[in-house]
Amino acid sequence: MCRRAQKSLKRLLVSCTTIILLFLTSQIVLAEGTGDDWNKLNQEAMELFRAGKYTRAISVAKKAITVAENNVGPSHPDVGTSLNNLAEMYYAQGKPDLAGPLDRLSQAIKELKIYEELLGPDDIEVVKSLEYLAELYRAQNKNSQADLVLELVQAKKNKLSEPKNPAVKTNPEQVTSSIPALGSAAVREGNVRPTPNTESLTTGKELMVASANASGGAEKFRSLKTLFEATTIDATILGKSYIFNIRKTVKYPNYSHSIVETPFGDSEIVLAGNRGKSVSPAGRTELDESQILEAQNTLKSDFVGIFRILDNLDCQAQDRSLVEDVMCNSVRISGIDEDFLIFFMDVETNLVHMIQSKSISPMTGEPVSQKIYVDNFHNIEGFKLPKNYRITYDDELFASVTVTEFKANPTIDESLFE
C-alpha cells in the first residue's frame, strides 16, 4: 500500500464527494482517551481560536500535542487528533506550509489505526505504516518521536519473526501460516494475515463465483458492456440529513457519466477513457491523472465491477465470520490497485452481506474504515442486486442508499462522454 497517496478503494459516493466538500467547513476535533488535561487543552485551544486569539490558541494546541505524545506515544490516534487540530488552525490562517506537514502526520496515524482494525495490530501492513510514520517524523526533524515509533516497529518485527508453529518458518517481511485461511475472526484476535497460498486462493475464487452465480450468473456479469443505475442517498452530515440523487451511465471499461442532484446544486462528472471533467456550481474542473485513475478503479471495484472482472482478481478465502448475526464466508480481494477489500457472503444464500475496505471520508478527506451492509435485494434485469444498503465510516452510519433503477446493457448516448 502506498501511504503517500490517499486512495479510496470503494468510494460509492465519489460522484457527490466534491459537492459535499464544497459546503462543509473544516472541523476541529475533540477526542477522548489521553486524559483530562489533554481534553482541557484541546477545549481551550478551540475556544481561543474561535475568539480570534490565534497566537495563544496555537500555543495551547502545541502543548496538547506534547501532552498526548508523553501520555500515549507519538503513534496514538489522540496524537493524530491534536496534530489535526493544529493543522486546521494553520489552514484557517492561510498557512498551508505549516499545516501540510502536520496534516500528513495526522493522516498517517489515522491510516495506521485503520490497518490495525482491519488486519490486527501485528500485521506486516501495520509495520509498514509505522515505518512510514517514522519517516515523516524524521523528515520534520522530530527525531525523538521517530525513534519511539521505530522501537515499536522493531518490537512488532520481533513478534512477527517468532514461529507460530515449529513447522513454519517466518521472518519480519513475509509471514506464512500452516492454516490455509485466516479471516476477520483471526484479525480480531490479533493474528497476522497469511501469505496467499494455492488452497486459499482457489477456495476464495470458488466462493466469489458462487456469489456471482447467486446474484444473477458469473457469465452475465462478464457480458455486461453498459449499464444505467439511479440511486438515492440519505446522508448524515454534521448531524443533518441530506438527500442526494445520482444517475449513472457506464460504458465499460473506462467510461462513465454521472448527474448528481444535491441540496446545494447539481453537478456532472464525466470519465472518458484517460480524460475526465467535473462540472458543479463552483465551475468546471478537469480531472487530473490521479482522479482519473481513481474513477477508473471505482468502476472496477463496485458491486457489479468486482463480479464483472472476477477472473482477473486475487481472491483469498478467510475464516467464516458472524456479521450482524449472519454467518458469512469471507474473501479478501486484491488486484485492482494497491489496496484491497473484503467481501462477506451469507453462507446460506451466497449473497453479499457486507463489504469492508479502507476508504476516504467525503466530509473530512481523512482515511476511514468503510463498511457497506446490504439490507435487502431486488430481482431486476435478470440480476439479484442490492436494493438497500448502509454505508458506515469507522462504524458510524454515514448514509442509507436505495437503488431505484437499474438497466443492463442499455443503448446509450455516446455524447454523454464528450
Taking only the tens place, the pLDDT of each residue in 265-312 is: 788 999 999 999 988 766 788 888 888 888 888 888 888 999 999 999
pLDDT of residue 159: 81
175 in a domain, yes or no? no
Residues 228 and 354 in one domain: yes
What is the distance between the alpha carbons of residues 247 and 15, in angstroms, rounded to a whole number? 10
- Residue 32's Cβ-count burial label (10 Å; 0-12, 13-18, 19+) is exposed
Residue 189 lies inside a defined structural domain of this protein: no
CATH number for the domain including 113?
1.25.40
Per-residue pLDDT, averaged over 60-82, amounts to 90
107 and 35 in a common domain = yes
Assess whether 303 and 370 both reside in one domain: yes
Q: Does position 87 have pLDDT exceeding 70, yes or no?
A: yes
Q: What is the pLDDT of residue 201?
A: 84
- State whether 118 and 206 are in the same domain: no
List the one residue out of 54, 52, 114 whose CA is nearest residue 80: 114
CA dihedral 411, 412, 414, 415 (to 10 degrees): 140
Residue 309 sits in the same domain as residue 404: yes
Question: What is the model's pLDDT at position 365?
Answer: 64
Instruction: Name the least confident of 108-122, 322-336, 378-392.
Output: 108-122
Calpha distance 115→3 (Å, rounded): 11
Tell me the C-alpha distance between 205 and 210, whole Å: 9
Domains identified in the chain, total number: 2
pTM (2 d.p.) = 0.60
Assess whether 59 and 130 both reside in one domain: yes
| Structural domain for 335, as ranges | 200-417
pLDDT (0 to 100) of residue 238: 60
Indicate whether 206 and 323 sit together in one domain: yes
As a whole number of angstroms, the distance between CA 82 and CA 101 comes to 13
| Mean pLDDT, rounded, of the chain | 80
Q: Which residue has the cell 469471507?
A: 330
Q: What pLDDT, on a 0 to 100 scale, did the predictor assign at position 377?
A: 95
Print burial letters for 172-198: b (CB count within 10 Å at least 16), e (below 16): eeebbbeebbbbbebbeeebbbbebee
Q: Give residue 359's pLDDT.
A: 79
**Domain-located, residue 182:** no
**Domain match, 228 and 139 both:** no
